[in-house]
Amino acid sequence: MPLRFRALAGVLFAIAVPASAQDMKLTYPETRKTDLVETRFGAAVADPYRWLENDVRTDPEVADWVQRQDAQTRGYFATLSQRDWFAARIKALMDYERFGLPVKAGKRYFYTRNSGLQNQSQLFVRDRIDGAARLLLDPNAWARDGATALADWEPSLSGKLLAYAVQDGGSDWRSIRVMDVRSGKVLADEIKWAKFTAIAWVGDKGFLYSRFPEPQPGQAFQQLNKNQEIRFHRIGTPQSADELVYATPADPELGHVAQVTHDGRWAVITTSRGTDSKHAVHLIRLGARKGWAAVPLIDKLEHDWRLIEGIGDTLYFATNQSAPRLKVVKFDMAGTRPGPQMVEVVAERSETLDRAQIVGERLILSYLKDAASTAEVVSLDGKPVQRIELNAIGTAAGFTGRPGDPETFYSFSSFAQPSAIYRYDSRTGASTAFALPRLTFNPADYAVEQRFYASKDGTKVPLFLVRKKALVGKPLPTLLYGYGGFDVSLTPGFSATRMAWLEAGGAFAMANLRGGGEYGKAWHDAGRLHNKQNVFDDFIAAGEYLIAQGITAKDGLAIQGGSNGGLLVGAVVNQRPDLFAAANAAVGVMDMLRFDRFTAGRYWVDDYGYPDREADFRVLRSYSPYHNIRAGVDYPAVLVTTADTDDRVVPGHSFKYAAALQAAPLGPKPRLIRIETRAGHGAGKPTDKAVAEGADVLAFLAQWSGLAVSGTAVHETAGKAER
């Protein structure tokens, strides 16, 4: 590829000139195409690559297709000159000591730590806050390839025992083990087939967890997840003896998660049908062991109910009942009137309540104001005490604690600031540093700003924008990221991969699309079901805004999204292929007519609708990425990424979509698929795989959006890191 060089702010950048069609012509691996066509609600629906839905572990033809596709893609990556630079920078940017939020149990403090480039973070414990750290668990020794991870973990309230979940190869399935903390001995207890579960200790005698029935042989990564149960495991007994606590066999699509209040008085079971924030709540009064009968507190799936804490017979919740941006309420379970009475503690505000915790004698409330964090402390009856100063556009997380103990921990991060952890006293309001990252770059070199742009229908949508201060005012290759669904709020956070893009001279933008939770229930509702097109319109409008404002050139815009965001990328590339230079659709939901037939897909009908209902079908058919590829139109360069062990969004979605892209005449730019092995939807991915994937994706996007870094820039950046 020919290069033009120009100097920006004293650093020499090579601006890639897109290659000609002849230079980049690819011959894709052959994919068998069938003549499968189904008639649904009077419409003919072709599905020529349905055979690619089969499990790569059991179907030799699919396995062969995967091998041939991935070999071509990785061969293509080897031709990208900037790939090695991105790999080196991502690796260097990840090479710093980082900590997870500490959890206090009894007098002990539990936390994760990664020395920098370990594939998996280790779990440590201290017997006091300033005590010596003792290694409890090292997942790096669990698998030769580093792909077996420590997932959820929870110490018992006394800190004597630790239950921890093991995740293998990125799967959503979990095995739960138990350790004696004092001796470090792993007990014989082992729980299998846990998924989408919390670990809720009942004293030191055992814990509540959620599980599904064991899948049929060979179906663990594709079979629909139904009939979730809550069971109680007593320490020292086999899983076969675990007591069934709560289940709904008459309604197998309901899912259940159990929590236990810190005083051990109540088990709270939250039930949902899908991903929508509509919950039923059942309570079990613990204590007397005879009979754990679950009684309803909220028996209809109408509103969001999030347990905050219980103090004696008072239970605190956050809810969106008559409060789309949520409020805090409490129930008196010892009242004499018929049924528990709900009392408002903190009214709904203009900001969205993101989280509430009771720490000591205070409520700590975390709000989202235009998708950035604010935090404040109020009394247990809702009276203001003080604000927690964060002093930057960023995300605060944590504040977990318990009644009677004023100590808690929180983290703060931003686009140019890795997570720093602070210890906070809710009684005095004092914050002290617990763990601060050592940086190989200067955050002050980067401008982080928030803008608002108009979508197609005039709705104002927030957009975060990050670039080097020295490059502000110049059009830069720009990476635009979005999600827009499932009530998920995108907030500022650090990513070594994104920082490498910024160091190379690119800009990064993140749009807070409708469908997310940034502005509460109304914002979510405006981007789901029959309103889903609003999400795509918001993202397209973000791209148009970045070009119109001169932030990027018309041929300099790359886009990226994962999972529901992968669907987003696939849909907008079909709708506006002229707008984007390059696209990365990661682990996306690409066949909107069959998503509900695999693993957790059935949950997503709350956001997408039901493919077997005509009105929903017609909406889904109108934007399904797999079904709306526009033959004969020039497309941007497209890189599809997925993993063989993704049992959240099964890889068949990406396989079929990539095959359809390659079969259509879409112009000269490449349409490739990268398939990771021994990895899943993202969680638990080892560091070496994350570095390799990040380098491959950025090199591809850089190649086609016009960003490349010369040897001079590589030398200067490396020198800064060494200094």
| Angstrom distances, CA of residue 549 to CA of 227, 436, 452, 507, 546 | 52, 36, 12, 13, 5
Structure tokens at 415: 């686009």
Amino acid at position 694, single letter: G
Provide the 10 A C-beta neighbour count for residue 115: 11
Helices 60-77 and 687-705: crossing angle, nearest 10°? 60
Sheet (strand 362-369) strand order: 352-359, 362-369, 372-379, 384-388
Instruction: Collect all residues with Cβ–Cβ distance below 8 Å to 140 and sequence separation of at least 6.
Output: 118, 119, 120, 122, 146
Q: Map 672-694 to HEC letters.
A: EEEEECCCCCCCCCCHHHHHHHH
- Residue 2, classed as helix, strand or coil, is coil
Active site residue 681: yes
**Cα→Cα distances 675→83, 346, 502, 644, 691, Å:** 17, 48, 26, 7, 15
Residue 603 three-state SS: helix
Q: Which of 366, 373, 681, 710 is an active site residue?
A: 681
| Helical segments of 598-705, H only | 605-608, 614-623, 652-663, 687-705
Q: Nearest to residue 642, comparing CAs of 566, 536, 560, 558?
A: 566
Residue 336: partners with Cβ closer than 8 Å, 6 or more residues away: none
C-alpha span between 634 and 656 (Å, rounded): 20
Find the catalytic residue in 121, 210, 495, 563.
Answer: 563
Q: DSSP letter for 493, please.
A: -
Measure CA of the first residue to CA of the last residue in the chain; give whole Å: 33
Contact 540, 514 (CB under 8 A): no
Q: Are 380 and 362 a contacting pair, CB within 8 Å?
A: yes
DSSP-derived letter for residue 437 is: -
Mapped onto helix, strand or coil, the DSSP state of residue 431 is: strand
For residues 643 and 652, what is the distance between their CA atoms, to the nearest angstrom?
10
User: What is the spatial order of strands in the sheet that 405-414 belongs to?
Assistant: 395-402, 405-414, 417-425, 431-435
Contact of 221 with 170, CB cutoff 8 Å: no
DSSP H or E segment with residue 106: none
- Known catalytic residues are 563, 681
